[in-house]
Amino acid sequence: MTITACYIVKNEEAVLNRSIESVKAVCQELIVVDTGSEDDTVRVARDAGARVLHFKWRADFAAARNFAIEHATGDVILFIDADEWFDPALTKAHAAVIEGQIKRGATIFNVCRINYFKDTPPTELYVMRAFKNRAGLKYVNPVHEKLNQTGHREYNLPRDLFVLYHSGYAGDFSGKAEYYLNIMLAQADEKTGRQNNPTYEYYIAREASQLGRMQLAAEHMEAFFCLAKKETFPARWMIAAHKLRNMLALVKAPQLYTDEERAQYVRAYELAFPRHPAPQMIKGLYAFEYEGDIAAMLQAYAGMEARVQAYNEADYPGDFSDISAEGNLVNMSRGAAAHLLGDPAGALDYFTEAFRVSRSAAALNYILHIIEGQSASDIAAFLQTLYGEMDEEALTQLLNMLTYYPDKQDLYVYYAKKLLDMTRRHSDLTALISIPLERCAHAARVARDVGGEAGGALLCAAAFAADDPALCEADAPEAVRAVAAAYFGEGSAAGFHADQWRLIALGYRMLLFTRSEAALWRMDAMLKDEKYMRFLIKSGYYGVPWRYRDVADSFDLNTEALPPAEAAYANTRLAQAYVGLRRFDEALACYETALRLTGDYAAVRRDMGIISNLSPAHEAAARALYTRYAAYRPRETAPDEKRRACELAVRGVFMAPELGRLTMTLR
User: HEC string of 373-409?
Assistant: CCCHHHHHHHHHHHHCCCCHHHHHHHHHHHCCCHHHH
CA distance 654 to 579: 10
CA distance 289 to 251: 9
Q: Which amino acid is at 218?
A: A
* Residue among 275, 331, 327, 281 nearest 301 (CA): 281
CA distance 254 to 214: 10
pLDDT at residue 643, rounded to an integer: 34
Number of neighbouring beta carbons within 10 Å of residue 109: 22
**Coil/strand/helix, residue 451:** coil
User: Does pTM top 0.75 for this prediction?
Assistant: no
Instruction: Give the β-pairing of 3-9 and 51-54.
Output: unpaired
DSSP structure class, residue 319: B
Ramachandran region, residue 29 (left: φ > 0; alpha: ψ -120 to 50; beta: rest): beta
Residue count of the chain: 667
CA distance 133 to 153: 14
DSSP structure class, residue 195: -
Instruction: Give the DSSP H/E element, type plus range, for residue 164.
Output: strand 163-166
Instruction: Give the DSSP H/E element, type plus range, for residue 51.
Output: strand 51-54
CA distance 418 to 511: 22
Where the chain has pLDDT below 50, the residues are 318, 320-323, 426-428, 430-431, 433-434, 436-437, 517, 521, 527, 530-549, 551-552, 554-556, 633-667
Number of neighbouring beta carbons within 10 Å of residue 166: 19
Instruction: Give the DSSP H/E element, type plus range, for residue 111.
Output: strand 108-115
| Main-chain dihedrals φ then ψ at residue 562, nearest 5 degrees | -85, 165
CA distance 381 to 383: 5
CA distance 66 to 6: 10
Give helix 603-614 / helix 277-291 axis angle, nearest 10°.
80
* Residue among 659, 415, 420 nearest 547 (CA): 659
CA distance 421 to 160: 45
Residue 404, classified by CB atoms within 10 Å of its CB into exposed (0-12), middle (13-18) or buried (19+), is: buried
Instruction: Give the β-pairing of 123-132 and 108-115.
Output: antiparallel
pLDDT at residue 574, rounded to an integer: 75
pLDDT at residue 551, rounded to an integer: 47
CA distance 363 to 335: 9
CA distances to 9, 80, 129, 465, 659 from 4, in Å: 16, 11, 12, 70, 51
pLDDT at residue 386, rounded to an integer: 92
Q: Are 243 and 278 in contact (CB under 8 A)?
A: yes
Q: What share of the chain is helix, strand, coil (3-state, %, to 5)?
A: 60, 10, 30
pLDDT at residue 290, rounded to an integer: 82
| Main-chain dihedrals φ then ψ at residue 31, nearest 5 degrees | -120, 125
Q: Which amino acid is at 533?
A: M
CA distance 117 to 171: 7
Q: Are 592 and 608 in contact (CB under 8 A)?
A: no
Task: Report the sign of the C-alpha dihedral through residues 385, 390, 394, 397, in that order.
Answer: positive
pLDDT at residue 249, rounded to an integer: 92
Question: Which residue stretches of 115-213 are H helix?
Answer: 174-185, 198-210
CA distances to 8, 65, 152, 157 from 137, in Å: 17, 11, 9, 19
Q: Are 370 and 339 in contact (CB under 8 A)?
A: yes
Q: Are 656 and 330 in contact (CB under 8 A)?
A: no
Per-residue pLDDT tens for 557-578?
A: 555 556 677 677 777 777 877 7
CA distance 472 to 478: 9
C-alpha angle with apex 467: 463 to 472, nearest 5 degrees? 30
CA distances to 457, 494, 622 from 485, in Å: 14, 12, 47
Chain-centroid distance of CA 60 in Å reads: 29
pLDDT at residue 214, rounded to an integer: 92
pLDDT at residue 630, rounded to an integer: 72
Torsion of CA 551, 552, 555, 557, to 10 degrees: 120
